[in-house]
Every structure is written in structure tokens, then in C-alpha cells.
Amino acid sequence: MPSRPPITVLLASPRGFCAGVDRAIQIVERAIEKYGAPVYVRHEIVHNRHVVDRLKALGAVFVEELDECPVDRPVVFSAHGVPKSVPAAAKDRRMLYLDATCPLVSKVHVEAGRHFDAGREIVLIGHAGHPEVVGTMGQLPDGAVTLIETVADAQTYQPRNPANVAFVTQTTLSVDDTADIVGALRARFPEIAAPHKEDICYATTNRQEAVKTVAGRADVLLVLGSANSSNSVRLAEVGLRSGAKSYLIDDADGLDFGWIEGAKVVGVTAGASAPEVLVQGVIDRLGERFAVTVEEVDAARETVTFKLPKALAG
């Protein structure tokens, strides 16, 4: 039997679950433990097929809208956040609800509310239709927030009062793309009010920095994550820009060995909603064809944790 060719796997660190995702999954698990199945979840709790399927097996029922939930069962709101109308409707129906919105998304909601109260015109940098964007825009009356997706949008945006504009951003964007859009806005509106601290979350930023470090040394980058996961898609884009052929895959079954032909170094990372078991699955699959040497590449240390809702704590 011929010997397997050697290959180096560079594991990007940090990767995988962030504190907000970890908290959201725990909320669903604890709710099932406390209240029994089924527990309803409005929208995918996080954008990962494997996570959703595992929670379904435990007794979670995923729905798109609140009116699909019976009033006598708990409902969890996803980590992406929801418009204000959703908890209001749950209260009207006297439903027990648990809000798994990531605290860093909630921070953006609070910022937007402060700008609105101060009478500013608000720009949200983000992707149309993403649940986080829908949730953030839904914190305020219709028309109070203008969505900006591109530099071109920033260059054509026409506020009523150019001296009284503020911006907030989706938390899972490309750091570099967002900087370009913010630059275009600042060029036109020098007095634009900015977040006190970057809205793009620490986990998104750290994972993109880790990918840049790995992609600079790798021939190919494999990103574990689902196609509807914004932060995972951004990781593949960042890898491509940083010089590695980059592929987004759900799990090891999505790996095409044709991508790796001739490669000596393969980078591997995972989006913030992808479990670590998927990373190990890809390494194991590579080990079927190659003599694999794994090297961990540390770009940052993460120590952030978020508390569970009081109803589930303890």
C-alpha cells in the first residue's frame, strides 16, 4: 500500500462557538430540561444545520413566526434578535418566552434607540433580510432606519439633515468591507455619530483575524459553517482575499479532495455557530488520504461569557 502524502493542517484559533451562540444553545437545552418537550424556537436558534438538527432531536420545534407556536408552550427567540413587535405579541398572548438574543446584538438595539431618541437619522450597515438586520430595524418605527449594504449605497444615501446622522452595524460583517463603507459615510458626513465601541462583535473580528493569519500560509482554506451563516460566509471571503482558495462546507461530507490536489498546507476554521466536532470530522477525513500534521495557529484568546436568563439560571 503506498504511503500517504504528508499535509499540514493549520487550525485557526479562535474558531467555532462564540459566547453568544453558546448561551443561545444552552437556553434551548435548559428550557427543554425545565419545561419538557416541545419547546418552540422562533427562527433557527443559530445558523447551523447540525446544531438545529441536534436540538430538534432533544425536543425543540423550529418555526418562522410566533403565530405557529401554541400559547401553552415556551418559545425561545433566536440569537439574532427580534423586532419589538414579537415579544409584544407574545405578551399579548400570555406566552412564556425566553430571549436568546446575543447581548452584543442587544447592545446595537440600545444604541439605535438612543440615536432615535436624540432625533438622529440612523443608518444600519448590514445585509438585507438577515434576521439580525430585521430585528434591529424592528426596534424602531418604520422608516427610522436606512439600510446601507455597500459603498455605493453610502455614496448615494440622502439624509434630511447631513449634520445629524448616526450609524450602527450588523455584528457579523466583514471587518474590512465595513471599514470601507464607514469611510465612505465619514467622507460625506464628517459629523456622523459612531458606536462608542465597534459593533462588529469580538468573535467575528477575532475569527477573521485568525483566518488572515492562516490563509497567508495555506494553499486551501476550509471553513466549517452553513451557507446561511453570515459570519461563516465572511470567513470564506476573508480567506480568499488573503490568498487561499477558500471553501465553505457544512461538514466533512462536503469536502472535495479535488480542491486539495497538490496542496501542502490546508487551513481549517469554523464559523461562530459551528460545533468543534465538525472540525475534528474534517481532520479525520483528511487523515484517510494524507499523513496529517496539525498545527494550532493562535490569533487571540477569548474569555467572554454571557449569563443565562434568570428563569433558567442555577
Q: Which residues are known to be catalytic? A: 132
- Order of strands, sheet of 165-169, starting from the edge strand that comes earlier in the sequence: 145-148, 121-125, 165-169
86: Cβ–Cβ under 8 A, 6 or more apart, which residues? 42, 66, 77, 138
Q: Output b/e per residue, 272-297; b: 16+ Cβ within 10 A.
A: bbbbeebbebbbebbeeebebeeeeb
Torsion 135-159-117-93 (CA) sign: negative
C-alpha cell at 90: 407574545
Q: Output b/e per residue, 33-65; b: 16+ Cβ within 10 A.
A: eebeebbbbbbbbbbbbbbbebbeeebbbbeee
CB 210 within 8 A of CB 300: yes
Residue with cell 461538514: 251
CB 238 within 8 A of CB 218: no
Residue with cell 465538525: 278
Q: What are the φ/ψ torsions at residue 65 (nearest 5 degrees)?
A: -130, 155
Q: Which H or E element spans position 269? A: strand 265-270
Q: Three-state SS across 44-65?
A: CCCCCHHHHHHHHHHCEEEECC
* Cα–Cα distance for residue pair 267/211, rounded to 1 Å: 8
Picking from 68, 73, 131, 71, the residue whose alpha carbon sits closest to that of residue 102 is: 131
